[in-house]
Amino acid sequence: MNFLAPAFLIGAAAVSAAVVVLHFIVTREPKTAPLPTARFAPDLPVRAQSRAIHLQDLLLLLLRVLLILAVGAALAQPVLRPPRRDVARIVLVDRSRAVADPAEVVDSARSLLGDGDALVLFDESASVVREAIEDSLASLGSAREVGRLSSALIAGLRAASSMRDAADSLEMVVVSPLVSEELDAATDSVRALWPGALRLIPVTARRDSSIEHATSIVGAADDPLRFALHSGSNVLAHDTVRVVRGSLSVADSVWVRGGQGRVLVYWPAGGIEGVDTPTLPPAWAPRSAADTVGAVIADDAVVVAPFVRYAELREPADSSSANQDLTTRVVARWVDGRPAATEEVYDRSCFRTVTVPVPARGDLVLRPRFAEFAAKLLRPCGGATPLTASTEARLAALAGTDEDRLVPRSEIAPPSRVPQPLVPWLYGAALAFAAGAMVVRRRASAATVTPESGGDA
Amino acid sequence: MQQLTSGALLDAVRGVHWPARRVSLGGFQGAHRSRRIGSSPEFTAYRPYQQGDDPSKIDWKLFGRTERVAVRLAEDESNLPTTVLVDASASMAFPVDSMAKWELASAVALGLCAVAQAGMDPVGLAVVDAHGARALPPRTRQGTVSNILRLLLETTPAGSSPLAPALSALRSSRRIAIVSDFLGDADALLEQVRELVVGGREIYAVHIVAREEVDPTLATPVIVDPEDNALRRPLDTNLLGQYQAAFARWRESLAAQWRAAGAVYHSATSDEPAERVIRRVASPLAVGDTSA
């Protein structure tokens, strides 16, 4: 057993010695009671009994010494050192939306993890698992959150600090598809804090990280929106984004529910001067009187133009009666904050309604801002950016050289504050000693008095 | 204080008379015998005329019969201004939990005042506590006893102010009752009493003693004087006998000194009913006792 701050223990020992010395030197002040006629009592000096040492006194002294030593030992931070292994692993396991099959990740992690290793589960945030690792792996499922390798690396570094005394060398392993969205600007600087190489175990990424997004438009051949989207195609065989400019059909509904990540965008061609108000989904209602709005915003894309606002989102009559498997969110707003486009998310796909009229006249659809705005409305479900694989160079920089894959424990910074399991027990023992001392002191409250010359007391 | 506020004490002492112990020298009309050269029909004796006597008081009929020039002495009734001086020092707040000494002292003071007022005597009260002396001068009007009761209820025994200066300020009273444990300035007080007795005042001493002072409980090994924290003495079963003997000797000595000074001395213990103490003090037959 070692102590992180042995000075406290030495100090406690010194205080204990002083308490013992004082206990035998200092005479106790006896308890007094008022008596107006005290002057008639024999004029004898009052002093405490010091010749005989009672058992209760010794018990009280013992409890006090133990109390001081327990507090001193707790402050000294005793460390129980477990037997040191050759290698300890910190396995960073991806649980973000980039993972195609969580079972593959779990299998890879199981093959790496052993007793005493640390598991770091990460998506947007990371959590370190040191106990019941198998349970955590078993409960791993598909997620919608974006993965952040930076947060996982930070958690892994902390776990490494706490494990530096458990093994001679440490290894950090990353089990992840390592798509580009998981590597951010902070990844390289955080990665540089790990002195060794990272062992990368790639797993299969989700399908939309490898396929090209294909957008089709169901509408007139001279639809101005085609110019904005730079797409002249009608329905494609393998499209993932379908923009419907006319009326929705059963085929559209079947299509959107028939594939992973499909986006059906209902962007009716109406709403402009000379055209009737188009048919709207149940969540939307035509405005009693159309008005003009000066701008529309989707994410960070802003288009400033006089738009005719012909529809408005209905207020939910009863939120509890809403369809449980749908989640509606606003993806574009007018400049006054009112919704201009919404998205309803299904389990595997989503349906968007855009009530921004596309004028047939003018050059609005040719402006880059409008193209950017339109592209925002055709993004994958949930507003996420498309998954793309990281470049080989980026992954190589992330992994580092193979020679120094194992990191000696001496190169790992010790933790600034390590919770020691013995400390709470020592504080508990100190409290118990304090309570015991109070009980003993209360019982021994009646001090014995011996007159100096009384002799017979 | 329940005893004071309930009115039971005043009911118990109703009808008790507290006569003067000697013929009064004068004053306003009252219930006590007074020797005055006056027009009272209660003739007592003739005295030869002396220089300074009012010539109109010469009994000319006697002169005509006997040719002796004499003035007529008549016995009149006058009142006796009475003040009760109560010791409210810290030693009276004993025992700490019950304050039995202060309870008895207050009850005795109030009862004596009520008895004196019932005899048409002006009554007043002086209380000496930590803030010094507070006095209500002797009055006969209604409500005086209520004012005395209020002052007693407002008083909390504390401090160790001397009684002698307060006693010297009561020279206007012809009868003074001192209710105290006499553990303060006993010698100075006794000296003051001697002068007052020589001056014709009636002095009563009511010595309040707590039962716990006579038989201490010995709950703690050391006792301390509440008026002097530096006075700390050990007291246990072995020392109890010495303590009790010394205390008894002091009480006997105190009683003898006060009686020798011409005062009427009574001792009362805290477990004694207040009305019994009042009757004993007011009794014209008693000359004081040392009953504990």
- Is residue A456 within 8 angstroms of chain B, CB to CB? yes
> What pLDDT is stored for residue A39 in this prediction?
92
> What pLDDT is stored for residue A456 in this prediction?
38
Give tens-digit pLDDT for B108-161.
Answer: 999 999 999 988 889 999 999 998 999 999 998 888 999 999 999 999 999 989
Contact indicator for A158, A128 with CB cutoff of 8 Å: yes
| Cβ–Cβ gap A35/B216 under 8 Å | yes
Contact indicator for A304, A294 with CB cutoff of 8 Å: yes
All residues at 6 or more sequence positions from B79 whose CB lies less than 8 Å from its CB, including other chains: B27, B28, B29, B30, B31, B32, B119, B120, B121, B122, B140
> What pLDDT is stored for residue A36 in this prediction?
92
Give tens-digit pLDDT for A288-300.
Answer: 888 899 999 998 8
d(CA B265, CA B281): 8
> What pLDDT is stored for residue A457 in this prediction?
33
> What pLDDT is stored for residue A173 in this prediction?
93
Judge whether residue A175 has pLDDT over 60: yes
> What pLDDT is stored for residue A146 in this prediction?
78
Per-residue pLDDT band for B194 (boundaries 50, 70, 90) equals: very high
> What pLDDT is stored for residue A322 in this prediction?
46
d(CA A6, CA A67): 17
Per-residue pLDDT band for B242 (boundaries 50, 70, 90) equals: very high
Contact indicator for A196, A404 with CB cutoff of 8 Å: yes
Query: Which element (helix H / strand E) includes A284?
Result: strand A284-298
Cα separations in angstroms, A456 against A46, A53, A406? 15, 18, 81
d(CA A449, CA B233): 11
Judge whether residue A446 has pLDDT over 70: no
Give tens-digit pLDDT for A64-105.
Answer: 999 999 999 888 888 776 677 888 999 999 998 888 888 999
Residue recorded with tokens 């004071």: B4
> What pLDDT is stored for residue A115 in this prediction?
84
> What pLDDT is stored for residue A238 in this prediction?
59
Per-residue pLDDT band for B100 (boundaries 50, 70, 90) equals: very high
Q: What is the ipTM, given to two decimal places?
A: 0.81
**For B233-273, where are the alpha helices, taking DSSP H only?**
237-260
Give tens-digit pLDDT for A230-245.
Answer: 654 555 555 788 888 8
Choose the closest CB to B246 out of A40, A446, A448. A40
> What pLDDT is stored for residue B54 in this prediction?
82
φ/ψ of A338, rounded to 5, equals -80, 150
Give tens-digit pLDDT for A395-408.
Answer: 888 888 766 678 88
> What pLDDT is stored for residue A379 in this prediction?
82
> What pLDDT is stored for residue A449 in this prediction?
44
Best mutation site among A28, A31, A40 for testing chain B: the one with the most B CBs within 10 Å?
A40
- Average per-residue pLDDT for chain B: 86
Per-residue pLDDT band for A157 (boundaries 50, 70, 90) equals: very high
- Work out the percent of chain A whose per-residue pLDDT is above 90: 23
Judge whether residue B278 has pLDDT over 50: yes
Choose the closest CB to A448 out of B221, B223, B242. B221
All residues at 6 or more sequence positions from A302 whose CB lies less than 8 Å from its CB, including other chains: A295, A296, A369, A373
Per-residue pLDDT band for B77 (boundaries 50, 70, 90) equals: low
Query: Which of A124-128, A353-357, A371-375, A447-451 is predicted with the least confidence, judged by mean pLDDT?
Result: A447-451
3-state secondary structure of A20: helix
Give me the numbers of helices (H) and strands (E) for chain B, helices first please.
10, 11
pTM of the model: 0.45
Beta partners for residue B85, in sequence order: B126, B178
> What pLDDT is stored for residue B286 in this prediction?
56
> What pLDDT is stored for residue A84 in this prediction?
78
Smallest CA-to-CA distance from A365 within A244, A219, A231, A243 is with A231
- Average per-residue pLDDT for chain A: 81
| Cβ–Cβ gap B224/A34 under 8 Å | yes
Instruction: Compute the nearest-CA separation of A60 from chain B (Å).
Output: 21
Best mutation site among A31, A39, A43 for testing chain B: the one with the most B CBs within 10 Å?
A39
| Cβ–Cβ gap A457/B238 under 8 Å | yes
Checking phi first, is residue A230 left (phi over 0); if not, alpha (psi -120 to 50) or beta? left
Checking phi first, is residue B288 left (phi over 0); if not, alpha (psi -120 to 50) or beta? left
Chains A, B: CB contacts under 8 A, how many?
99
All residues at 6 or more sequence positions from B148 whose CB lies less than 8 Å from its CB, including other chains: B84, B109, B110, B113, B123, B124, B125, B136
> What pLDDT is stored for residue A440 in this prediction?
84
Best mutation site among B101, B104, B211, B220 for testing chain A: the one with the most A CBs within 10 Å?
B220
Per-residue pLDDT band for B289 (boundaries 50, 70, 90) equals: very low
Query: Which element (helix H / strand E) includes B147?
Result: helix B144-154
* Higher pLDDT pick, A445 / A44: A44
All residues at 6 or more sequence positions from B63 whose CB lies less than 8 Å from its CB, including other chains: B69, B70
> What pLDDT is stored for residue B292 in this prediction?
38
d(CA B185, CA B91): 12
3-state secondary structure of B164: helix
